[in-house]
A = this chain, B = another copy of it.
């Protein structure tokens, strides 16, 4: 028999019994999948009957998928039956109308998703950790408008391009410097003069989100959406960089993720200056300390909350000498705050920014000094195969990126993919973000993660910039991944594995991972029990 023995039923049972261990320790999957490929390549099927071959191939595919090696408990099987029934009903409705929500633009699908029973289960599901979110897009813009802009000393102004700007300023020096914006107005006073305050507030809100009724018209191409996307950060900058708002924004963001059953966040943080009313500007160290404090306080009042990690991130429009400085900062911060600073990344639009190869000298600095600075590169967030930008994936893997942000183009690079898999580098899949919103793919069933999920490539689901996209927490992205990317095959195993992955591939210490897994498992069991019981 030799190699051909692998892949027969007896071996499959063996793998099944090892499944749960394998899926936790996480080091067995890649070789076993590759072996499966080789086995199915070299073992003749002709000696078997058609039905036997059929069942074997179906079983093999089922086992190869993300979560395919998990063995469910009796209660999980019941829960899975109920989830599958709801999913199938929703899929059949979609099949009959020809319209499936993950093929619609998220802005148009959002209100329909909210009516889905599957979505409501996903909201309740303990999802583990959010490993790919950006500092200033974790909290709903409503909160910014309703809370931050209603605070005392909040000024606003329209730039010459008509974009609002905010600034908190001290009562003794009532207006911010005019150089930044022509005419600053105290919001408190301005609102008093308005007939329709909620209309005004809605207009502010529209400046803080990409949401729009006709996304295909409003955003004709990637340029249009990126322009608006960057404007949002420009608009909210003056609000969230005010120290008291900064603290509360973070706390509110953690609250929204916690409500969505996410217990740990790893935040790409730019560490831009934060100011006080008296003009004090805080250092990056102050920011890191404040992140740590806020998370610590949050954990005290939120049972089970694990914490946050920061991935210090600079912008890929900067020249290499500036990036060299940031690399130095990242190394310094990691020495000073080893418990919270996890590593370094480069952010901004990949297609128009410098490539990792352009920055190679800067990125080699830590290694050349014998320092380990973990990288978490955004890479392959592009449709432009074969360009220098597309090679970011290659360089992210060569530079041993701990995880890869998006990795949208990875399936087009089989050799890089194999190398990444060998190194156990997961991709952070953000369905709504880089797919529908940033226009990389219109129908999520065609998202390349579908291929990766089917092959069992290590991945986590995240939401990137939920606040800008009109989403919240992780549930909307889980819905898109579960119903769109995963097709009819994705089930409770898939969801469980994705949640486990989010803890396994987090940057928590081994001890903390263990306790995080325990917390998550306890919640998972409750969730499963509720799901298995069904509605009462």
Contacts and interface: CB of A to CB of B under 8 A. Distances in A.
A99, A351, A440, A454: most-surrounded residue (chain B CB, <10 A):
A454
Contacts of A390: 487-488
A37 B34 contact: yes
A448 interface: yes
Interface in A396-442: 397-399, 411-416, 418-419, 421-422, 440-442
A384 B487 contact: yes
Contacts of A418: 36-37, 40-41
B41 A34 contact: yes
A419 B53 CA distance: 10
B57 A415 contact: yes
A489 B385 contact: yes
A64 B415 contact: yes
B443 A442 contact: yes
A451 interface: yes
Interface centre among A31, A38, A53, A486 (most CB of B within 10 A): A38
A383 B99 CA distance: 11
A488 B387 contact: yes
Between A99, A386, A414, A490, the greatest number of chain B beta carbons within 10 A of the residue's beta carbon is seen for: A414
A211 interface: no
B50 A364 contact: yes
Given A61-B415, A398-B53, A445 B383 contact: yes
Work out how many copies of this chain go into the complex: 2
Contact of A416 (B61, B399, B487): B61
Contacts of A37: 34, 37, 414, 418
A284 B385 CA distance: 47
Contacts of A95: 351, 384, 387
18 contacts: A30-B41, A31-B42, A41-B421, A42-B422, A50-B399, A53-B398, A60-B415, A98-B221, A98-B223, A103-B383, A384-B445, A385-B445, A385-B454, A386-B487, A387-B488, A411-B451, A412-B450, A451-B451
Interface of A: 30-31, 33-34, 36-38, 40-42, 45, 50, 53-54, 57-58, 60-61, 64, 91, 95, 98-99, 103, 221-223, 351, 360, 364, 383-387, 390-391, 394-395, 397-399, 411-416, 418-419, 421-422, 440-443, 445-446, 448, 450-451, 454-455, 486-490
